[in-house]
Structures are given as structure tokens and as C-alpha cells.
Amino acid sequence: MRTQPHASIPLGSYVLPGGTTDPGHAIGQAHVAERIGLSTLWISERLGHRDLGVVAGALGQATTKVNIGSAITPFHIRHPTVLASLASTMQTLTKGRFLLGLGRGGPWLAGLGVSPSTPAQAVIDIAAILRRLWAGGTVTYHGPAGRYPRLHLAGPPQAAPVPLLMAALGPRSLALAGQHFDGVILPAFLTPQAVAQTIATVRNAASAAGRDPMTVRVYATVITIADPTPRDHDILAGRAVSYLQPPPHGERIARLNGWDTAPLARIRAHPLLADLGQTLADETYRPQELAEPGRLLPDNWLTASTATGSPTACAGQLAEYLDAGADELILHGTPPDRLEPVTTAYHHTSARSPLPAVHTRPPR
């Protein structure tokens, strides 16, 4: 089995973006992704139409080269053995092409009877439990991650351990990812300079923990829209609102980017958002419905933290994120079947200048 990520070009993409309700569209997107040389297809799990196990299994059978990753699934919503089994099955099915990206979720978890507040030790312990299960061990655990008398997977140990990634932004979460995970997934709307700062935090933490910092892969999410229409601009602004609305997430992004946080108060005071309380904007509205509060954001915020414009301009902006140290980019906002102009421009750009180094994780 392969134990290193497939990498035609260091660009991946989400499948089934936005409000898509037909998961079958992912198959055609996967075929195009392989043809244009994307490295990874990413699944942002949404309960209802984007179940991680089902969509990942379909993608695994529709492709032979591209990696398949979750970005992300909250680890709370599945029993550890169920989550370990899902990942182990996918890793075997795809011959080592699966990446498990985990996150802490958000306030919506409370509606499932799950605490949205997760101690750091619980995150560390979940990673350790999954790895022990994949290694063929039996786990008895009572701690912040739950109470499990006896966890075990049937069959032999996993030949190719599943890379474990963590979604992170704050300094403590970034450090935790560097110390205990195989990679980190960064959110959208960070500038290349902010990405460089987060990478330094991750790799310094890895080094302090006695790990080789270059074995912790960094996946930076970049909203990418080639030749945007006015409607695309509205959707982009609305998507920015959905990322920046919840505190303290919005403040963390703004401060990392060196932005004044005052515009955040203005968008949160907008009539569409003022009464949401702890509810996230994207749980109530689609991006295009948030275009009006999005117009309260400074224009330079969007241009500095996304890749938009002509395909050549997008390719140049993506190269800035790779030059900042990201190992791979997760292109967001445009599905794989509409990304060929950008990947073609990226190939032309990289042919004229040396490619940034792509750090790979050595076999275990």
C-alpha cells in the first residue's frame, strides 16, 4: 500500500460545494479531478446529503490516483470504533489514499446532545485511541474523551496507518496539531502571510515535541474563483461572512491577517445576523443570502485572502500560498469540474518558475 500522499500538483478541491443535495455529482467531479491532476478530493461532511463514509466510498471506487480526505468531520458524532472502522475500511479500499481530517465541530453539536466544548486532552486521546485500534490493539479508556470498557477492531492491524489531520486556527490548537497529528487543515480567508505564521506555530510545536517538523503537512484552504461574475462576488462576500461571523473565529482570522476587527462588529449587527445568538450564519443562510452583510467588509479583505480574477491571476495567488510554506492547497468555492482553467494556468506558471518544495511524510 502507498503510505505517502499522491501529488500530481499540490492542489486539491472540495467536492459537492455549497447547497448541493445530490451526492451523485461527486462522481463526475472526481473523474475530472483525476484528469486535471488534482492531488486530493476533500469532503466537508454535512449530515443529510454528504455522509463521509458513503461519499468517500463512492469516490474511492470512481478514482485510482487522487487522495480522498475529510475536511472535516467532528470526531464527536461517531463512536471511536465506528470512526476507526470507517477510516480503516476506506484506507484498505483505496490502497492507502484516505486522509482523516478531524475537527471539534461547533455550537450545532449541542443539538445532538454532544458538548461543543472539547478539552485539548480529549483531542489528543482520540488520536491515540484511533492509532491503537488501527495497530490491532484493544483499548480500555476512561477519560475526557469518554468511557470505553473495551474497544477493538476485527481483523489484522492496518497495514498503512491512516494519516490523521486536525482543523486548527488558534495558537493552542495549532500547537496541538504539530505535537500529535500528521497534518493540519487551515481555514479559508487567511492571507499567505498569515498562513506562514500558522505554519511556524505548527512546526515549532512539532520540533519542541521531538518530532521532525517537516513531516507535519499543512493544508491551507483558499477560496478560488476564476473570472468571477457579479453573482460570484456576492457569494464570495457571503461566504466570508459565514467564516468571520462567529466569535472568536472571526477575530482570530482578522488578527492573523493584521486587520482591524471593527468591521466584524458591523456585520454581526446587521439585521440578518443580530438575532442569531450562538447560531452560525451558514446554518441559517446560504452564502448568496449573506451578500448584503458581506458588503460591509472591506474590499481588500477579500482580495488579500482569496484567489480570484483571471485563471492566470488565480494561479499566481495560489503560488503565493505555496511559497508561504503550505504543502497543499484545498481550493474552495469552485468544484473540480470547473477548475481546469486554473490548473492549466498553474501548470504554465510552475513551468516558468521552480515549484515550491512539497514536503512528504515518510513511510512509518
Element (H, E) at 57: helix 52-62
Instruction: Please state whether beta strands 146-151 and 139-143 pair in parallel, antiparallel, or not at all (unpaired).
Output: antiparallel
Q: What is the pTM of this model?
A: 0.93
Cα–Cα distance, 231 to 215 (Å, whole number) = 40
Terminus-to-terminus CA distance in the chain, angstroms? 12
Kindly report each contact of residues 343-346 with a partner whose C-beta sits within 8 Å and lies 24 or more positions away, as own/partner: 343/9, 343/11, 343/36, 343/37, 343/38, 344/36, 344/311, 345/310, 345/311, 345/312, 345/314, 345/315, 346/9, 346/11, 346/315, 346/318, 346/319
User: Tens-of-pLDDT digits for all 364 residues of the chain?
Assistant: 333 444 469 999 999 987 788 999 999 999 999 999 999 999 999 888 899 999 999 999 999 999 999 999 999 999 999 999 999 999 999 999 999 999 987 766 777 787 766 899 999 999 999 999 999 999 999 999 999 999 999 999 998 899 999 999 999 999 999 999 999 999 999 999 999 999 999 999 999 999 999 999 999 999 999 999 999 999 999 999 999 999 999 999 999 999 999 999 999 999 999 998 778 898 889 999 999 999 999 999 999 999 999 999 999 999 999 999 999 999 999 999 999 999 999 998 887 655 444 443 333 3
9 preceded by a cis bond (ω within 30 of 0): no
* Whole-number pLDDT of residue 115: 72
Report the C-alpha gap between 281 and 296 in whole angstroms. 15
Q: What is the DSSP letter of 50?
A: B
| pLDDT digit string, tens, across residues 96-145 | 999 999 998 776 677 778 776 689 999 999 999 999 999 999 999 999 99
Bridge partners, 69 (sequence order): 42, 99
Q: Is 7 left (phi over 0), alpha (psi -120 to 50) or beta?
A: beta
Give the whole-angstrom CA distance, residue 113 versus residue 47: 15
Say whether 273 sits in a helix, a strand or coil: coil
Contact call for residues 95 and 88 (beta carbons, < 8 A): no
pLDDT attached to residue 64: 97
Q: What does the CA dihedral 203, 207, 210, 215 come to, rounded to 10 degrees?
A: 40
